[in-house]
Amino acid sequence: MIRTMTIEDYDKVRALWDSIKGFGIRSIDDSYDGVKRFLKRNPTTSIVAEEDGKIIGSILCGHDGRRGCFYHVCVDEGYRKQGIGNQMALAAIEALKEEKINKVSLVAFKKNAVGNTFWKELGWDLREDLNYYEFTLNESNTTKFV
């Protein structure tokens, strides 16, 4: 079942994230309180895939009123190649359209061959005409790779 994520899903979603090799988890942003804040701001756009009470996929999805963004898109390794990622992406896109958002982006680590292949196969465009910059406002928000 594909459905909207709620904060009650956090523990199961976090367990999924912790099981994905190479997954980057931020100490503050991906904590219970960080995800709760994100879902409060974006209550209808994040998606989970669930089977028999187990979360087997997730997308954190939000927008700023102009552009949507996908974060932490993943499917449990045992459930891949079944169209679950595609279904979740389509559900998140539909939720963004309901909010009148016309474009969505995501960041995939260059080393993430599985993810990069997935997005290319779905028809997403790799932007090579821009540089991605970031500036850390809170040094305590460190990233741990699983």
Q: For the chain, give the percent of residues with pLDDT over 90.
A: 82
Q: For the chain, give the percent of residues with pLDDT over 70.
A: 100
| Bridge partner list, 68 | 63, 104
Report strand pairing: 2-4 vs 68-75. unpaired
Averaged pLDDT, 100-120: 93
pTM listed for this prediction:
0.91
Q: Is the pLDDT of residue 24 over 80?
A: yes
Q: Using one digit for the tens of pLDDT, what is the confidence trace for 33-73?
A: 999 999 999 999 999 999 999 999 999 999 999 999 999 99
- Residues 99, 49, 30, 11, CA torsion sign: positive
CA 102 to chain centre: 18
Where b means 16+ CB within 10 Å and e means fewer, 21-33 reads: eebebbeebbeee
Asked if residues 68 and 101 have their Cβ atoms less than 8 Å apart, the reply is: yes
* Domains in the chain with CATH codes: 2-145 (3.40.630.30)
The residues near 64 (Cβ < 8 Å, ≥ 6 apart) are: none
CA-CA distance, 103 to 63, in Å (whole number)? 10
Rg (CA), the chain: 15
Q: Using one digit for the tens of pLDDT, what is the confidence trace for 113-139?
A: 999 999 999 999 999 999 888 888 888
- Residues 121, 127, 131, 133, CA torsion sign: negative
CA-CA distance, 53 to 47, in Å (whole number)? 15
